[in-house]
Chains A and B, each alone.
Chain A
C-alpha cells in the first residue's frame, strides 16, 4: 500500500503542509521536510516552483519566483531528495505545474519519483480527462497517486468522474479562488463541504485554499479527512526563522494559541 493510502486509514484528522522547494533558501528542502515530520505533520506537499503559477495567489507566486532565482530546478530537487527516505517516513507529494514535468518527460519524472520514494503528485493544470487518457497508466506503473482538485463550481457528475479516476484523496478547494488565506469559512463553504460529504465518495477529501490557523483547520476538518496549509506556512517561513516550524504546527493543532 502507498504511504498516502496508509495514512488516510489512520483514525485521525490529517494536517498537510505545502512548502515551495528552494525557498527561502535553495538548500532548505530536506530540513523543512524533516522538521515537519518531527513536529507531527501528516502529509507534505513539496512545491516544484514554476515561472507562471496560474492557480496561486501572491504568496506562493513570490516564493516560486524567489526559489527559481535561488536556482531550484527539477533536477536540483530530485538530487536534494535522493536520500530522503533514509530519514523520513511521512507521505510526500510533489505539487507542480505540468510544463516542467512535461519537459522532463512524464515517464522519466514518474520513475524518478518512485526511485526517491515520492508517493503522489498534484498537477493543477493537468486536467483529469487528459490524465485519464494519456498518463494514468504511467502513474500507476510507478506507484504514484495523482490527486485532483474539485471546487464549489464542480458539477456532481464531474466529481463522480474524478472520484472514479482517483485512488488516494480528493483535494477539495474551499472556494472559487487562487491560493491564499481567507479569514474563515461562511455558510457557502459549509454547505459545499456538506454537499460533498453527502455524496459518499470512495476517496476521502482534504480541504485546501484558505486554511491558515487553528480555527479554519478545525472548521475544515469537521467535514473532511484533513486540511492543507500552504500560503500561511510559506508566509511563516518568510517572516520567521526556520527553527520556529514547530511553533507554527503546534499553533495549528491546538486551540489555545
Chain B
C-alpha cells in the first residue's frame, strides 16, 4: 500500500484538485514547481538554516518520566511547542515563504482559525519583508484577541471573514476568493495539510522535519529509530502529517490520530470527522468531511479552535479508510484534564489541541515497554483564558 500522494495528486481515492478554473493557473504553477524548488540545494540550505537559527530546531524529543510512570509505558514528547511562535505551524510557513520567493510572489495571504497559523505567516512575512493579509472569522477575531494583536504587531492586515459561520471554514473561503481576485502576484500559504493538490503534499513535506528528527533522536535515546506508536491530534492534520510522514511505510510503527469529539461524538457538537464525515469535496480536495445529507458543509465544534474544522486532510482520510491509522476521539473535558495533568506532572502547559493527543492514555492501555511518541504540537499560552475559565483558576 502506498500512503504518499500519487502523480495525479491522490491518496487512494482522496485528494485531487477540485478548483474553479480561476484558480487553475496558480495551483498548476505550484504543482509544476514545488518538487523542483524543494530539491534545489539553495532552497534546502536556506530552509534548514532558518529552521535551525530562527525556529530553534531540532525541537527536543523529551522522555516524559513522570507521565510515563503514571501510565506505565514509555512516553516521549516531540516538543514542537518550543518552536518560535509556539507551535509546529512555523515549519510550513518558513517553507512556503521561501517557495513564494522562488516563484516571484510579492503578496502573501493566509487563513487562520485560532490565529496560530496567522501569526506564523505574519512572522515569516515580516522576516522577508512581504505584504501579508490574514483572513480570520469575525467570531474567531473576537475570541482570539491576543493573536490578532500579534499579527498586527508583525505588520499583517487582519481581514474579518463575515460570510457563513464566520469561523475557520469561512476564513478559508475568503482567502480562496482573494486568490481568485489576485491571480498573478499572490501566494496563498495554506496552514494545514488540506486544499487542492499539491498543497497537502507540500505542507506534509515541510512538516516532515518532525518525524525526520524523531528518528535520529529516538535512536540516540532508545537505540532504535522506530517507536511502537506515533500519536498526534488532527484538525486538518498538518502536525499529524509531519509526525507520521517518515513512519507511514514502517509497518512496525502504529499510527494514532486523535480527533476532537467536542461535547461527545453523538452530541451534535463535535469535530470527529472520521466518524461523522462522509466523502465529499471541501476547499479543493476530495476527502472526508462533515456535511448534511444534501451535501452542505456543516459547522464542527471543539473547545480547541485548531481542531474545529469540518474536514481532514486527504492523506488522513486515506489512512483512516485503509485502517493504517487508528482514529480516536477525545472530548473537550478529557482534553482539558489531560492538559492540566501535563502541567502538574511535567511542568509543561500544552495547547488544547495537543492536550487531545495526551488524553488517549486514559482511554487506551499500552504495554510497559511500548515506546509512544506524542507530538506536542503547540504551547498553551494562547489558551490560558480557556484554561482559566474551564477550571475557574
Contacts and interface: CB of A to CB of B under 8 A. Distances in A.
B296 A154 contact: no
B19 A103 contact: no
Interface residues of B, number: 35
Interface string A40-54: 000000000011111
B21 A100 contact: no
A138 to B, nearest CB: 17
A243 to B, nearest CB: 30
Contacts of A101: 295
A125 interface: yes
A98 B281 contact: yes
A177 B180 contact: yes
Contact of A178 (B177, B278, B279): B177
Given A54-B173, A99-B282, A99-B297, A154 B25 contact: yes
B281 A158 contact: no
B21 A124 contact: yes
A99 B21 contact: no
Contact of A65 (B164, B184, B282, B294): B164
The listed residue with most A CB atoms (<10 A of its CB), out of B183, B279, B294, is B294
Given A50-B296, A51-B164, A150 B180 contact: no
Interface string A48-73: 00111111011001100100100001
B33 interface: no
A148 B21 contact: yes
Contact of B25 (A55, A97, A153, A177): A153
A102 B291 CA distance: 12
Given A58-B163, A177-B181, A102 B20 contact: no
A34 to B, nearest CB: 26
A176 interface: yes
**Max count, chain A CB within 10 A of own CB: residue among B18, B279, B282, B284:** B18
Contacts of A199: none
A102 B164 contact: no
Interface in B263-283: 278-283
A54 B177 contact: yes
A225 to B, nearest CB: 19
Interface in A143-159: 148-151, 153-155, 158
A130 interface: yes
B183 A153 contact: yes
B295 A176 contact: no
Contacts of B176: 54
A100 B19 contact: no
A125 B163 contact: no
Given A68-B296, A102-B281, A173-B22, A61 B163 contact: yes
Interface in B24-72: 24-25
A104 interface: yes
Given A154-B24, A176-B183, A52 B282 contact: yes
A211 to B, nearest CB: 16
A74 interface: yes
A103 B294 contact: yes
Q: Tell me which of B21, B164, B180, B182 has the highest count of chain A C-beta atoms within 10 A of its own C-beta.
A: B21
6 contacts: A54-B177, A55-B177, A74-B294, A99-B297, A125-B19, A178-B181
Interface of B: 16-22, 24-25, 163-164, 169-170, 173, 176-177, 180-184, 278-284, 291, 293-298
8 nearest A-B residue pairs (beta carbon): A103-B295, A100-B295, A149-B21, A51-B296, A55-B20, A153-B25, A124-B20, A73-B294
